[in-house]
Amino acid sequence: MATAGNGTHAVDGGAFPVTTVLGAERGVADYAGRTHVGVVRSDNQDAWWTGGDGRLFVVADGMGGLRHGRWASDQLVREVAGVSLASDVHHMCSALEAAVRRGNWTIYTQARHLGARIGTTLVAMAMIGPQALICWCGDSRLYISRSGRLYQLTRDHVTQLDNGREALSRAVGVESQVRPEFKQITVQKGDRLLLCTDGVHHELSDEDLAILLHAGDCSQAAMAIERQVLARGARDNLTMIVVDI
């Protein structure tokens, strides 16, 4: 565990504590999202969406150059946004997986038609009472801050190349079949969650995020993260949603 710079927040590399805590039955208390093209790129290929009366949150990072990447992320976000919210985790998981598979096939067939490599990452969260169902594919992430500790709840779908760089090992639209990953957690009152693209977490350390996530309310925290990413050079598009329970 590394302690953050101001000594009040910490990053925990261990397992997220699985607890059943009362007080989150009402679900989300507040949320805010932001996106920015960054400093280097001329086009924004990220997309994000919130809906379902604050019960569904989606972030996607498209790839494929210019309009193709943005089209891919928009296409996937539209598919996920169209999901009917279920009253139990099992049916919600099935609905999300079906939406991701539909989006995958649409993007994949269009890419083949164009002879291009097009795809997108995804991180989504659906709230079912005090349960948060997380769905992701690629290297967009979801973090949770609880009791002053920051946990990364998703694991990046990446592989190490011979030159030391990373490449996505899983993304939506790149192949004919896709396998999104799921995780279910019990949230509690006072939790703050962050969904973000790699344009955020490649520029900021977990220690940075642990501090910036508590720079006021959700909107203020999102603005603080954006400002810091821009100050670091913002080599990629950056998109985030901050959610309070």
* Cβ(99)–Cβ(78) below 8 Å: no
Q: Give helix then strand counts, H and E, for the chain.
A: 5, 15
Task: Name residue, tokens 């920015």.
Answer: 36
* Cβ(116)–Cβ(64) below 8 Å: yes
Instruction: Give the integer Cα–Cα distance in Å for 95 and 101.
Output: 10
Q: Quick one: pLDDT at residue 65?
A: 75
**Distant-in-sequence, close-in-space partners of 152: CB < 8 Å, separation ≥ 6:** 141, 142, 143, 206
CATH number for the domain harbouring residue 178: 3.60.40.10
Strand residue runs (E) in 147-220: 149-152, 158-160, 166-168, 181-186, 192-196
Q: Is 100 helix (H, G, I), strand (E, B) or coil?
A: helix
* Cβ(42)–Cβ(27) below 8 Å: no
Mean pLDDT over the full length of the chain: 91
Per the model's pLDDT, the better-predicted residue between 9 and 97 turns out to be: 97
13-42 pLDDT per residue, tens: 556 665 444 445 568 999 999 999 999 999
Task: Name residue, tokens 């932001």.
Answer: 34
Strand residue runs (E) in the chain: 2-3, 10-11, 30-36, 46-51, 56-63, 119-120, 122-128, 131-137, 141-146, 149-152, 158-160, 166-168, 181-186, 192-196, 238-244
Asked if residue 238 has pLDDT above 70, the reply is yes
Asked if residue 73 has pLDDT above 80, the reply is yes
110-159 pLDDT per residue, tens: 999 999 999 999 999 999 999 999 999 999 999 999 999 999 999 999 99
Max avg pLDDT among 10-19, 59-68, 230-239: 230-239
Range of the domain at 75: 2-244
Which band of pLDDT confidence, cut at 50, 70 and 90, is reported for residue 172?
very high
* Cβ(52)–Cβ(87) below 8 Å: no
Asked if residue 57 has pLDDT above 60, the reply is yes
The backbone torsions φ and ψ at residue 204, rounded to the nearest 5 degrees and listed phi first, read -120, 140
pTM exceeding the 0.85 threshold for the entire prediction: yes
186-209 pLDDT per residue, tens: 999 999 999 999 999 999 999 999
96-105 pLDDT per residue, tens: 999 999 999 9
Which band of pLDDT confidence, cut at 50, 70 and 90, is reported for residue 10?
low
Cα torsion 182, 188, 191, 196 to 10°: value is 20
**Distant-in-sequence, close-in-space partners of 219: CB < 8 Å, separation ≥ 6:** 32, 242
Q: Based on the structure, what is the number of domains in the chain?
A: 1
Q: Quick one: pLDDT at residue 7?
A: 37
Asked if residue 2 has pLDDT above 50, the reply is no
